[in-house]
Amino acid sequence: MIVVLLISFFGACTVPLLARVMGRGAGFLIALLPLGLLTGFVSVASIVERGWVRGQGIPWAPQLGLDFTLRLDGFSFLFCLLVTGIGALVIIYSGGYLTGKPRVERSRFFTLILLFMTAMLGTVLAENLLVLLIFWEATSVLSFLLVGFDGRSSRSRRAATMALQVTAFGGLMLLAAVCMIGHVLGTYSMAEAVRQADVIAASPFGGPIVACILIAAFTKSAQFPFHFWLPNAMQAPTPASAYLHSATMVKLGIYLLARFEPVFAATSWGRATVITVACITMLVAALQALRAENFKSALAYSTIASLGILTLLVGLDGPAATVAMVGFLMAHALYKAALFFCAGSVIHSTGQQNLRSLGGLVRVLPITAIACLGASLSMAGIPPFLGFISKEFLFEAQLESSWELVPLAIAVLVNAVMVGVAGVITLRPFFLGRDKLKPVRHKESLSIVAPPLLLALAGLIISLDPDWITRVALRPAVAAVYGRPVEVDISVWHGITPMLMLSFVAVSIGLLIIRFWRPIHTRLRSVDRLDAYSVERLWERGLRGLVAGARGLTAWVQHGDLRRYLLMVVAGTAALILWSVGMADAWPKLPEPGDVRIAPTIVALVGLGGAFAATRTKSLVAGLVATGLTGFSVAITFMMNGAPDLALTQFTVEALIVVLLTALLLAIPIATPATRTPGMRRSDAIIAALLAGLLFFGFLDMAAHGHESAAGEFFGRMSYVAAQGHNVVNVILVDFRAIDTLGETFVIAVSAILAASLLATRGRKAAPGTPAPVHFSFAIVGRGLALLLLAASIVILWRGHDQPGGGFVGGLVAALAFAVLSLAYGVDRAQRSLRARPLTLVGIGMGCALVSGLPAMLAGKPYLTHLWWDGGGVLPKLGTTIVFDLGVYLVVLGAVLAFLFGLQREASR
């Protein structure tokens, strides 16, 4: 069977290419694929007759519970016959129907239909529920693509989207059900799920599982309240409607229900729900079928009604119901597909589909008319057609089951309406109203008349000689669904039974409907309220509401005000911390108060004062100065606490920030209007204080506990011994944790690219530098100062390994040198004295830093292991660390200069 699926799939991908090279005849050739499959199925009929076959399972993803297990039992077999048989006819029919379309589109249509066939086969053959789900979803997607085949029209797109929404909703419900079954049983085998139906029903997930399965089935089989997508899906090309939306796909819901009947029957409310929904569906559909004004939608509503009957039969208990269900399923597939073909022919040849404006077509479409008549008689349940037999079974099942008479009455009524509809759609377009006949566009062709005629004939032949089909398909199917063999006796004449009486009643009412169709139809159509309160409208309104709600929500959340965004982040962080400490029930432990040193205290408090002042001041310049003050005081604090490297870095960074931001402030207006109301400022302050308070206690608690760092101790021990450096901080940066530094160097390098790209004056050359007027004293000392700083930077770089300093600070100091130059003589002059483009420096620096780690790898050591050469007493000890540090130096220098020159140039424009 896996082979069957593979043939089907690859056939679907390749065979339709024929349609690209062939004209009308392509349909016949392509139909050989489904026909071949049909033959294959028929050839295994004798095995199915005896029991059920289980195909070998291929473990696909066993850990996920997914085995590609297929099985072919009677019920699946019936579906397979229908799917391949009708599939072949659909292909033939499409060959004639799509003559007006370009070849590429025709080929695409064939591909989709054949893929759909594959998916259908997969669904009904699947034993593993996950496999079932996969194919089930595939049918939904293919239905979406087929409904929207004519994607240009907005109605098609709307119908396709609606069909997808509803069926995908059902698919997700099925997914949920499958997940829950897997959770309860620990397996995804369908047989297992059916066998352990009681376990499922008794588990806490029983209710949800049944509800989800029912919803999945109702959406697929267009049961109330999900029925509305089906009439809209008639936007699909008619062959697709015939195939998907009447004969096969919509029956998948019935298939699922029938398979899971033991599961929902095990709950107290399962059967009642199914029957109630079926009855409502039948009534609604019958009413709408009478209101429908065009050919295809009348058929669509009658399909929904039929699906309702099938659902009802699944819901009823007793073997007769099962027999009736299986029989009706087949009969309906045959006659409804035929009717759709006829409808398609009418639309194809006249371009009209309104029932009121069609008439007299028997003269131009005689064979179609005959086929239509045959199918309609079957639909109306007139002996000796198959529909009659299945109707008998239907009434018998209802009489036999333990249910009330209400469903019976509804069934009779609905059957009557179906008689009526069958009559109307046959008589009106073909036989009545000959005066309405208009010239037709296409005449009948073989590919268009053969399929409906064959189907109509099949309906007649089967009922006259039912033995073969009963033996190979119906009886095994019933046995498979019911769980044990049931005697199925199909014959046209059972004698005068209550069922026959009921049939007679139904037909009589039906005849009355045919007679008075026009007044009933116009009367019903005039009731607009039916449209206004239809589920379709509600669904659409719901969707519109959802989108409007989503818009509202998004506009509310994503309001565009950066301040409130950031407030959200800050408040969210504070809330998280509060939650965290609250739920952990942790209270801060406070450290021992140590001695207080006066000078550091003053320095630190000055820093805090600066920060505070920065929040209060209105002037941006004052704010910059206050922030700078804070930075410097922190630098001094570092200095006083044994961190000279930090202090040096902080000093230079702070100085450069002040220089760079000054350049920024020169460009933009200093005077700023207030951007926050006092209330906002107050709430900001409260949240900031909250967060700061939490951090305060957090860090106190951290400091209250002891601190042992094995790494810190190790670094202290090994720094000189193994890494040849006295300055442990620098050794950490260039050796122990050099990859951090490498990353950080890249941060700076990359930010330089950004600066260069954002600040470059594109398009026109910058005006030749007219040096900005600077104070002459600055101009005089500038050069000397710059040289001094440069020299200092090199010293800092060189001795960094042993004394405070290193590449970072060195680079920053060197950059300061050029900052001085550019302040004194203008940017252009400063850049000229650099003799290289800043970014080139950055690139070279990156290269140096990267390369410095490589030599060690040649010696078989990890990257960034530094190598040392002893100068033999004459030269100082040299290591690859200096290359690394030089790289850092160059990157920092180049990057800062890129910012500096760019900002100053931009600011002076």
Is residue 103 part of the contact set for other proteins (CB under 8 A)?
Answer: no
Minimum distance, C-beta of residue 904 to other proteins, in the bound complex (Å) = 11
Give the residue with the Cβ less far from other proteins, 484 or 707.
707
Binding pattern for the stretch 61-100 against other proteins, x by CB under 8 A and - elsewhere: xxxx-x----------------------------------
DSSP string, 248-276: SGGGHHHHHHHHTHHHHHTSSSHHHHHHH
Residue type, 793: S
The DSSP-derived string for 119-151 is HHHHHHHB-BHHHHHHHHHHHHHHHHHHHTSST
CA pair distance 89, 448, nearest whole angstrom? 10
Q: Does 712 bind other proteins (CB under 8 A)?
A: yes
Where in 176-215 is the site for other proteins (CB under 8 A)? 176, 179-180, 182-183
Instruction: List binders of other proteins among 295-354 (CB under 8 A).
Output: none
For tokens 């069909």, name the residue.
163
Of 758 and 874, nearer to other proteins (C-beta) is 758
Give the nearer residue to other proteins in terms of CB position, either 608 or 781. 608
Kindly state whether residue 58 participates in binding other proteins, applying the rule CB under 8 A: no
Report the residue from 579, 778, 868, 869 that binds other proteins according to the rule CB under 8 A: 579
Judge contact between 253 and 307, C-beta under 8 A: yes
**Among residues 9, 431, 539, 720, which is the contact residue for other proteins, using CB under 8 A?**
720
Does residue 465 bind other proteins (CB under 8 A)?
no
Q: How far is CA 525 from CA 152, 304, 432, 518, 522, in A?
A: 29, 19, 22, 10, 5
Among 412, 842, 893, 897, binds other proteins (CB under 8 A): 842
Closer residue to other proteins, CB minimum distance, 271 or 866: 866
Q: Please tell me whether residue 748 binds other proteins under the rule CB under 8 A.
A: yes
Q: Which residues does residue 869 pair with via DSSP β-bridges, in sequence order? A: 878
298: nearest Cα among 249, 235, 343: 343
Using rule CB under 8 A, residue 684 touches other proteins: yes
Classified as helix, coil or strand, 294 is: strand
Give the end-to-end CA distance of the chain in Å, rounded to a whole number. 77
Taking CB under 8 A as the rule, does residue 740 contact other proteins?
A: yes
Closer residue to other proteins, CB minimum distance, 203 or 445 = 203
Q: Which is nearer to other proteins, 533 or 863 (CB)?
A: 863
- Dist CA 809 CA 811 (whole Å): 5
Q: Which of 367, 377, 355 is nearest to 422 (CA)?
A: 377
Report, in Å, the least distance between residue 277 CB and other proteins: 21
Q: Which is nearer to other proteins, 306 or 727 (CB)?
A: 727
Closest approach of other proteins to the CB of residue 617, in Å: 10
Stretch that binds other proteins, among 23-31, 72-80, 589-597, 770-778 (CB under 8 A): 589-597
DSSP 537: H
Tokens of 393: 């079974």
Of 58, 272, 409, 754, the residue at the interface with other proteins (CB under 8 A) is 754
The span from the CA of 309 to the CA of 282, in Å, is 7
- Among positions 13, 409, 527, 739, the unique one binding other proteins when judged by CB under 8 A: 739
Decide if residue 229 touches other proteins (CB under 8 A). no
**Is there a contact between 171 and 133 (Cβ–Cβ < 8 Å)?**
yes
Query: Rule CB under 8 A: is residue 759 a binding residue for other proteins?
Result: yes
What is the three-class DSSP state of 842?
A: helix
User: Does 550 sit near other proteins (CB under 8 A)?
Assistant: yes
Tell me how far, at minimum, the Cβ of 539 lies from other proteins, in Å: 12
Q: Which of residues 765-824 bind other proteins (CB under 8 A)?
A: 802-804, 808
Residue 104 interacts with other proteins (CB under 8 A): yes or no: yes
The yes or no reply on residue 861 touching other proteins (CB under 8 A) is: yes
461 binds other proteins (CB under 8 A): no
In this structure, how many other beta carbons lie within 10 angstroms of the beta carbon of residue 625?
A: 16
868, β-bridge pairs:
879
Residue 747 sits in the site that holds other proteins (CB under 8 A): yes
222: region left, alpha or beta (phi > 0 left; psi from -120 to 50 alpha): left
Q: What residues between 617 and 646 interact with other proteins by CB under 8 A?
A: 620, 623-624, 627, 630-631, 634, 637-638, 640-646
Contact by Cβ (8 Å): 422, 355: no
763 contributes a contact to other proteins by CB under 8 A: no
Residue 435's Cβ-side half-sphere holds a number of Cα atoms within 13 Å equal to: 1
The tokens for 694 are: 């939490």
Taking CA atoms, 395 is separated from 320, 391, 402, in Å, by 9, 6, 13
Indicate whether 660 belongs to the interface with other proteins (CB under 8 A).
Answer: yes
